[in-house]
Amino acid sequence: MVRSAKWFMADVMRNRFLYVLVLPGIVFFLLFNYLPMAGIVVAFKEYRMDLGIFGSPFNGLDNFRFLTVDTASVLRVIFNTLFLNTLFIGIGTAFAVMTAILINEIRLTWFKKISQSLIILPNFISWIIVAVFAYNFLNTDFGILNGWLSSLGLPKISWYSSAEWWPAILVFLYIWKSAGFSSIIYLAAIMGIDQEQYESADLDGANKLQQIWHITIPGISKTMIILLLLAIGRIFYGDFGMIYGLVGDNSLLFSTTDVIDTYVFRALRTLNDVGMSSAIGLLQSLIGFLFVFAANAVVRKYDRDSALF
């Protein structure tokens, strides 16, 4: 590529405009992405604010001691991250695909357009706002859910202190917010299926359900698998915005909702434990990278264009 320094200098002269165009961007990525990557060494140091990243002394693997001391917490947090992500990916994909298939069966144009617009809307508000929505429903005294329970003669549930309900609540909210938007991709894939297949199926006497099972689903399977793989690649990364936005500092819910990202966040901000939080962060980045890389490698074999590289 860059054959020699001489070639490079000549190219800069020849394409100087292009170099000018990419310069700000390169500076941006260097400052906000690559410099922090170098800053990973802080996981092996005893960080002192006055000495900075590069001046602070090394302390070997001291920062990683918490793994042996706090093993239960760490394992719980890793489990929550993987478990919740698996639920999101699995149920989320199923729901989005089902939505796309059903939208496709709607004939009334106005109904189709309006309902599609409505189900996509939740995607554009932040999790902080969704938290307010959830509060309206889940608040113990004033919430709508408890209102319904009472009117049915059932006891009210203290949702914000009952950790066991929250995986379900989180999945529900995740689907509420993203399934509509995700279904667009699958709908686009469905539109890409050759219409002739459906026509010949009609001639063969197949009903709609059979057509969906034998034509539509296989037809979008490639898209599904690629998106699934890409999602699985990110399985070690929790959705901080979602979890912290909804759960916040409510420690009563941590047992089922605390993920690696929120754990690291609290270690950094509340405990000011730079050592431990950077150690976990490093582990997450390494393992996460392996997964993302592997997932993309598999996707690449499958369909070259869809992989990140």
Partner 1 sequence: MKAYTLSDKLLSWLAYLFMGLFSIAAIIPFMTIVSTSLTDEQYIRAHGFDIFPHAITLDAYKYVLGRGSSIIGAYQVTLFVTFVGTAFSLLLTTMMGFALSRREWRMSVPISFFVYFTMLFNGGIVPWYIVTTKYLHLYDSLAALILPYAINAFNLIVLRSFFSTIDNAIFEAARIDGANDLKLLFNIALPLAMPGLATIGLFYSISYWNDWWLSLMLISDRELYPLQLLIRAITSNISYATSSGANASIAAASIPKEGVKMATTVLTIGPIILLYPLLQRYFVKGLTIGSVKG
Region 146-205 residues binding partner 1, contact defined as CB under 8 A: 146-147, 176, 180-181, 184-185, 188, 202
Q: Which stretch binds partner 1 (CB under 8 A): 80-88, 157-165, 213-221, 264-272?
A: 264-272
Q: What are phi and psi of 271, to 5 degrees?
A: -90, -10
DSSP 192-231: TS-HHHHHHHHHTT--HHHHIIIIIHHHHHHHHHHHHHHH
Does 247 help bind partner 1 (rule: CB under 8 A)?
A: no
- 191 contacts 137 by C-beta, under 8 angstroms: no
- Which is nearer to partner 1, 82 or 268 (by Cβ)? 268
Query: What is the nearest approach in angstroms of partner 1 to the Cβ of residue 1?
Result: 6
Query: What is the nearest approach in angstroms of partner 1 to the Cβ of residue 255?
Result: 20
Hey, which residues between 54 and 93 contact partner 1 (CB under 8 A)? none
Q: Which stretch binds partner 1 (CB under 8 A): 67-75, 77-85, 162-170, 263-271?
A: 263-271
Cβ-based neighbours of 254, under 8 Å, separated by 6 or more: 163, 247
Figure out which of the listed residues 229, 235, 261, 263 binds partner 1, where binding follows CB under 8 A.
261
Question: If you compute the radius of gyration of the chain from its CA atoms, what whole number of angstroms results?
Answer: 25
- Which is nearer to partner 1, 76 or 300 (by Cβ)? 300
Figure out which of the listed residues 133, 171, 266, 300 binds partner 1, where binding follows CB under 8 A.
133
Residue 279 tokens, joined: 């150690």
- Neighbour tally for 67: CB within 10 Å: 15
Query: Cα–Cα distance between 253 and 273 in angstroms, integer?
Result: 22
Query: What is the nearest approach in angstroms of partner 1 to the Cβ of residue 90?
Result: 19
